[in-house]
Chain A
């Protein structure tokens, strides 16, 4: 085993330790958020305990949007500068964003059921519809990657989907304003301050921080997975070119 291989193995172990520590911190953060949601926050007078879904529902929606914003940035970086880091970041964030969109979606359905006796097959609320659209768009983003010719073509085509798909995000957000339907209007950013008691706002902010951190850690882990996959391809190519293996991709 050469010196270079040993050093890169060491670096990899250190990287793994760091990611494990971050994952542990994310779990701890989610436990704190659980405490804030179920113990600290007061019971909603009208809706009862079901309202507690709100915290995770909104927080994961925001996290998903954040992920898709990262996909946008990565896609633009790739299209503009050919940045491979941007492409990998987009790949990682699309996976994670898709998970958080699913969480948002399921929580929304669970919440809506007892409150409005809301049967989504009968009432396609604008936000529900456009969140479903978002989900399909980013699933499409990953499908394009799978079905396009591997390499730069796949990156290029997926990046286009990543950019245009993001155009749909404001349509999601403003669809509530444009074609107001069943879904409640903005609660936190309503004019004249939040329409919620302060402890609820605090509980929400704690949850948002925890979910945001979890989301960031998941993206980092995914990024690492993708980077290792790319490194394997690079090694295969280098072997064919009979060049020294490329330094560990970062």
Chain B
């Protein structure tokens, strides 16, 4: 399928650039670890308060790491004119957007691969499969929205200001639902803790699908004039 091939090409290109340049990942990993250190000082965490506060810290760090990761995705493409070059190919704006979003998601997952173990070490947070599942489900929807608004903000004069203003309110549903799910999961509840089994996971999945559809429809209008 042409769409998938083009999207994979774009994603592959992005990841290859990142692996070569190593611009974002080390910075993100550092950001994550440093925020955890600061959180543990700021909240004066000990073995009892650490696990209790860790759901909140998890989402706080994740949201800002996400902003950091997505802010970069389209800025360089616009500045070098490569976005135009891609759009002039028959690949189509939606495929280009899907590829960029895919690469951004992979980066954010890599960032989570640092965040979750680091939380277990620094804050003694209980990281269970349910926590990982929640975070991954939320990542998909958050990445699609974040990427779309990164593309939008990249075209304006105030990129750094607009990206959080546009993205954070739309991420709230993920933080609300995901936050509750992580809270329950961290206090011992597994996948079966919800009366209709896995309710927050279903809601997160709904959000993912909703925003994937909406953003891929909107991508054409954001990327192409």
A interface residue numbers (CB < 8 A to B): 79, 126, 129-130, 132-134, 136-137, 139-140, 143-144, 147-149, 152-153, 156-157, 159-161, 163-165, 167-168, 171, 175, 178-179
Contacts and interface: CB of A to CB of B under 8 A. Distances in A.
Contacts of B110: none
Contacts of A79: 221
Nearest to B222: A160
A157 B222 contact: yes
Contacts of A129: 172, 176
B221 A139 contact: no
Interface stretch (B5-13, B47-55, B69-77, B155-163): B155-163
Q: Is the interface of A mostly helix, strand, loop or mixed?
A: helix
A157 B156 contact: yes
B162 A143 contact: yes
Task: Name the residue in B172, B211, B214 with the highest tally of chain A Cβ atoms < 10 Å from its Cβ.
Answer: B172
Contacts of B225: 152-153, 156
A136 B211 CA distance: 19
B214 A144 contact: no
Interface in B131-176: 145, 148, 152, 155-158, 161-162, 165-166, 168-170, 172-173, 176
A129 to B, nearest CB: 6
B203 interface: yes
Contacts of B170: 133, 137, 164-165, 167-168
Contacts of A164: 145, 148, 170, 214-215, 218
Given A143-B158, A157-B222, 8 more contacts: A132-B169, A137-B169, A140-B162, A140-B166, A143-B165, A144-B162, A160-B218, A164-B170
A171 B145 CA distance: 15
A62 B161 CA distance: 30
User: Which 5 A-B residue pairs are closest in the complex by CB-CB distance?
Assistant: A133-B169, A147-B156, A147-B158, A140-B165, A136-B169
A127 B158 CA distance: 29
B210 A144 contact: no
A156 B221 contact: yes
B200 to A, nearest CB: 9
A148 B222 CA distance: 12
B177 interface: yes
A140 to B, nearest CB: 5
B19 to A, nearest CB: 31
Given A143-B158, A157-B156, A168 B169 contact: yes
Task: Name the residue in A79, A143, A157, A160 with the highest tally of chain B Cβ atoms < 10 Å from its Cβ.
Answer: A160
Contacts of B221: 79, 156, 159-160
Interface string B194-206: 0000000001000
A148 B157 CA distance: 6
Contacts of B215: 164
Contacts of A136: 165, 168-169
B166 A137 contact: yes
A143 B157 CA distance: 10
A127 to B, nearest CB: 12
